[in-house]
Structure 1
């Protein structure tokens, strides 16, 4: 498993670099073919490379991704290593160890009939080119198991918030900041009003969060800004709250004369409701008990994954079945090595139980 993990980590796969993602897909295909006995379909959508294995009539969908948030060259600062039972390297936790566990789990099964494996190449960018593939596969299956990394302490992810992304542009009018600022319409000041209005959409200590993130305005220090923008990340636990935020974003109006607003974006991932994972989590608990893997814990998380899409089309979905470790997207990203075969065994047992009609 460590050899496979090293192979995948050393092939960097920054989401925005289509050539790097294509090269990574080739390596993933080779590793997967060695364990599954056959190569995948290679699906290129708008330049992004995805992989799919199908065995018989699919009943269980295994979802994973091979792209990462790490720019090419990150290995120089964050090299692959295994020290004191901890593996490190770009993308090791999110989610290349999950891919390794998936392949080893399926290799241990007596038959793969009824299994579909979909490995996407743009999950970290919102799955724009793979969403249709995910939803089509999920509609045909009885269950979806997502190999995203686990939550703290190895907890499975039984619910996820829905994700919406927006870009609000403010259009104003430039003028000389010293000679005649009154002849301009300050897009930066208007942006400040809008940022405060957007931030106020969050529930105080509640599940809905609406967060202004990337922002900018102006072209020079002595010019009234004619253009400004803010990116917004919104998370909601259910569809009603997600739709309410969307309505409030679209109802924003300018405060300053001479300024105009332009909103782009909207809901990206639907919420993954706890009900979609309840039966699968219960089945996973039974499997873990049978295998002596100890009690399982399930948690709701704010981050989105491709599991939001499978759950969104009505396919029962259980997430967080991948690596145990921490530090996703951060310099301390790592995987606890001794947990890899345990999680692989849990996945194998869960797939086998579903195919046997136990859940």
Structure 2
């Protein structure tokens, strides 16, 4: 990928990194706008070339642009990142990138554009031939076009390091799996005043189903089953013929995901004449702690040797593309990106001082892994 580095890791230039983060933040990339994500991918390709001396391959999948830079190693370390954000086009006009003391703010700076820049400089500082880079453009909407690509590249790797932001600087050593469903209820319309008894009220049926759905949660196991957005009816004087509800499921284990899935598929109507359709399923498997334990221990050793503080790993309810890589059995450590707070919230921010510091830490971890004589064991 680039020239081998000397034994002593060289700290990246923080001013250069900050300027690159600013350019990236000000190049808006909302997930649902493929023109803007493609424009941002162009900039990321330029940054990869500037930092690493090579241009990544552009992979077009269903109109979306993803970027891949392979090292040629048989068992590389894969750096995984995404360039899309949750912020709609035009956000930078009212909330532009800015720096106040140690904090850089702007839409997407924390999740995860600062982490992407850190990853590029980490790969350069590591000077390792065995580092691959994958940058996707649809992570925030469930990775519909990039999942197979992520799993393909991860299957080649000895380990995956995910450049998502940490929790107050702590890596994410476990993530809940996510399942997403829509339950549709079909009834029969009738006039609510003249002959309501001739109808089958889809909203009444939906109310019964929502209670059944909610009962599938298991707080003692950390499993949440949350009905979220519901719709029903057409006019105020018509018995609703259609109703639906979206359901968000989060679980620490695949077994819990399977249990809830089976429960949802076993739902039956309570009203004569009503029918049910369940759409969706498991979106991301859990990133279980067993997938990250060895890598977290290695990262902690690297941090201690460098004198860089690294909080203990944290388990979180949100999911990332690291769930996919852990789900196929590849050692995965998440949350190695920006140090800060406020993901998906107005005012999200990333530490300026941590940009080069975290890049050096990730570089040390890359080097330790790529120089390991036992590629099957990241410890």
Same fold by TM-score greater than 0.5: yes
Aligned to 2:201: 186
For residues 144-159 of structure 1, the aligned pairs below 5 Å read 144-151=160-167, 153-159=168-174
Q: Check the 8 A contact 2:169/2:310 in 1, yes or no.
A: no
1:238 is aligned, of 235, 244, 253, to: 253
User: 3-state DSSP class of the match of 1:166?
Assistant: strand
Tell me which of 327, 332, 335 is aligned to 1:320.
335
Deviation at 1:109, TM superposition (A): 2.5
8 A contact 1:288–1:296 mirrored in 2: no
Query: Does structure 1 conserve the Cα–Cα contact (< 8 Å) formed by 2:138 and 2:144?
Result: yes
Confirm whether residue 229 of structure 1 aligns to residue 244 of structure 2. yes
- Runs of 4+ in structure 1 displaced over 2 angstroms? none
**Map of 2:31 onto structure 1:** 15
Give the corresponding residue for 2:370: 355
Q: Using the TM superposition, name which of 35-44 and 50-59 deviates more.
A: 50-59
Q: Render the CA deviation track for 1:152-200: whole Å, top value 9, x for unaligned.
A: x211101111111101111111111122111111111111111111111
**Partners of 2:170 and 2:310 within 8 A in 1:** no
SS at match of 1:277: helix
**Which residue number corresponds to residue 67 of structure 2?**
51
- CA drift of 1:4 comes to 0.3
- Runs of 5+ unmatched residues, structure 1: none
In the alignment, structure 2 segments of 5+ residues that lack a partner are 1-16, 374-378
SS at match of 2:277: strand
Query: Are 2:232 and 1:217 equivalent residues in the alignment?
Result: yes
Number of residue pairs the alignment of both structures matches = 357
Could you tell me how far apart the structure 1 residues matched to 2:235 and 2:93 are? 36
Compute the TM-score of the two structures, normalised by the length of structure 1. Answer: 0.97
Task: Tell me how far 1:328 sits from its aligned partner.
Answer: 0.8
Partner in structure 1 of residue 269 of structure 2: 254
Q: Please give the alpha-carbon distance, in whole angstroms, between the structure 2 residues aligned to 1:148 and 1:295.
A: 15
Residue 354 of structure 1: SS of its match in structure 2?
helix
1:263 aligns with 2:269: no
User: Which of 19, 31, 34 lines up with 2:47 in the alignment?
Assistant: 31
Distance 2:325 2:237 in 1: 51
- Separation of aligned partners in 1, 2:83 and 2:275: 41
Q: Aligned partners of 2:57, 2:283: CA distance in 1, in Å? A: 26
Cα offset, 1:104, TM superposition:
1.3
SS at match of 2:126: coil
Distance (whole Å) between structure 1 residues aligned to residue 97 and residue 67 of structure 2: 24
How far apart, in 2, do the equivalents of 1:260 and 1:334 lie? 47
**Is residue 2:134 matched to residue 1:134?**
no
Partner of 1:96 in structure 2? 113
CA contact (8 A) 1:101 1:341 kept: yes
Of residues 14, 19, 37, the one that matches 1:3 is 19
What residue in structure 1 maps to residue 134 of structure 2? 118
Contact conserved, 1:165 with 1:265, CA < 8 A, in 2? Answer: yes
Instruction: Say whether the 8 Å CA contact 2:341–2:350 is kept in structure 1.
Output: yes
TM-score normalised by structure 2 residue count: 0.92
User: Which one is further off, 329-338 or 46-55?
Assistant: 329-338
2-side partners of 1:195 and 1:233: how far apart?
Answer: 12
